[in-house]
Structure 1
């Protein structure tokens, strides 16, 4: 069954993460904890998959991790007219957009910026990493190195995201980010990167919690809203986060 093949291949990806990324997760988490202790903010910007939903605001998750949310709406209610396709233009391809985001966000020098991009070659995430480095931010990529290595960067520096950030974590998916061969179908199915990136994200959060506790600091962590006294417990944790930043 294709389902069984998916289970088998997804497990291989997770084992590969454990075998190849653990030491980097420990090192990165220690630096995150050190910067949080000194007052830095921890930002995450994902270019369209699940990290900003899975990694933020979840029960058992750290309040310190906050998303950079980007919205842009164009309203132009003219009557319908047939036209040739203009092609989709995403913000991740717009030169200079990282300067706008940094200018309008709450990113400050010395902060932590985690950037998720599977392909890691588009202009914006690379430029955000470069501009973050210039601010002495801790820049961390979560990306697919095998995939990204085969793509040409859109950025004039020629860098891909894993090359532009201070650190990168490889979600250990493959070129094309699909796991399951389907006989006679002509293409593979089932991506790995969403689950594997989340696996890395929770490994980082658990390790940062551990590092902060070792410093004698109490990290602010959500509990489920369905638990007894959740409003009171989460409210106290939010107060702690607001006061200390972790």
Structure 2
């Protein structure tokens, strides 16, 4: 028998409320981000998207997904093994994302054009590699969109030597409206009165929502402007491979394969 308050129905309700918070409060920010993306694509740029940990799911929604834009390149710490000098053991270190020195290495293994726009997703917005990548991006003159939890990031100390957090470097900040610590549902205390902690993290699903809202807004702006909309179609339907390979050829090494 389900617990009266900790159950799948509660999870669904909390997630619907989280979606509503994003939709009700972030449309202006998403529109501003979409305008930066369209400006970049019109100038021949591509979308460079980065996330570590669970924020990798946001990057996967933006780059290399059916229904998504072809000119989108996913940057990942694992690239430092595929294209750089890190061993698989090193790149699997759960604390790797805290190292700011990795940001320059990441940029070095990707083909970056001055017209490219960057989108960085980080719930906390305070890890060293994330903040350093944002700092380098701005130093090089790129536009930067941040997707983060403002409730969380404004209550932490940055792990970057500058003390900066991701949102403090971005041109546009989209708030995923998540709570501090990400998990929204406090469990009842145990029989001895000790806290059990919280479950039901929302940042992954709200960031996915933001990604799809953003891509759709970008595509609408391109249609409205009479421009081509280079869209990936599923590789698992007839003609998918041919369509996608034809469009990807335009960008060469600027858009790397996201893997299987």
Compute the TM-score of the two structures, normalised by the length of structure 1. 0.86
- The offset of 1:27, in angstroms, is 1.3
CA–CA distance in structure 1, aligned partners of residues 126 and 251 of structure 2:
34
- The offset of 1:240, in angstroms, is 5.7
CA–CA distance in structure 2, aligned partners of residues 100 and 233 of structure 1:
32
The correspondence for 1:70, drawn from 77, 91, 94, is: 77
What corresponds to 1:138 in structure 2? 143
The correspondence for 2:63, drawn from 47, 56, 59, is: 56
> Which consecutive residues of structure 1, in runs of 5 or more, have no partner in the other structure?
77-87
CA–CA distance in structure 2, aligned partners of residues 203 and 119 of structure 1:
21
Greater Cα offset, 201-210 or 219-228: 219-228
Pairing 1:224–2:234 present = yes
> Is the Cα contact below 8 Å between 1:209 and 1:219 reproduced in 2?
yes
> Is the Cα contact below 8 Å between 1:153 and 1:160 reproduced in 2?
yes
> Is the Cα contact below 8 Å between 1:110 and 1:135 reproduced in 2?
no
SS of match in other structure, 1:189:
strand
Aligned residues: 233
CA–CA distance in structure 1, aligned partners of residues 135 and 249 of structure 2:
33
- The offset of 1:215, in angstroms, is 2.0
Q: Deviations over 1:154-175 (max 9, x none)?
A: 1222211111222211111101
Instruction: Mark the CA change 1:61 to 1:89 in structure 2 (over 3 Å): closer, same or farther.
Output: closer
What corresponds to 1:6 in structure 2? 11
What corresponds to 2:95 in structure 1? 90
CA–CA distance in structure 2, aligned partners of residues 53 and 34 of structure 1:
22
- The offset of 1:40, in angstroms, is 1.4
The correspondence for 1:29, drawn from 34, 38, 49, is: 34
The correspondence for 1:196, drawn from 182, 191, 206, is: 206
The correspondence for 1:212, drawn from 200, 219, 222, is: 222
Q: Deviations over 1:128-187 (max 9, x none)?
A: 111101111111111111011110011222211111222211111101101223223511
> Is the Cα contact below 8 Å between 2:59 and 2:74 reproduced in 1?
yes
What corresponds to 2:124 in structure 1? 119
What corresponds to 1:17 in structure 2? 22
- The offset of 1:75, in angstroms, is 7.2
> Is the Cα contact below 8 Å between 1:130 and 1:165 reproduced in 2?
no
Instruction: Mark the CA change 1:74 to 1:222 in structure 2 (over 3 Å): closer, same or farther.
Output: closer
The correspondence for 1:237, drawn from 243, 247, 252, is: 247
What corresponds to 1:175 in structure 2? 180
What corresponds to 1:81 in structure 2? none
SS of match in other structure, 2:118:
strand
C-alpha root-mean-square deviation of aligned residues, in Å?
2.2
SS of match in other structure, 1:180:
strand
Compute the TM-score of the two structures, normalised by the length of structure 2. 0.82
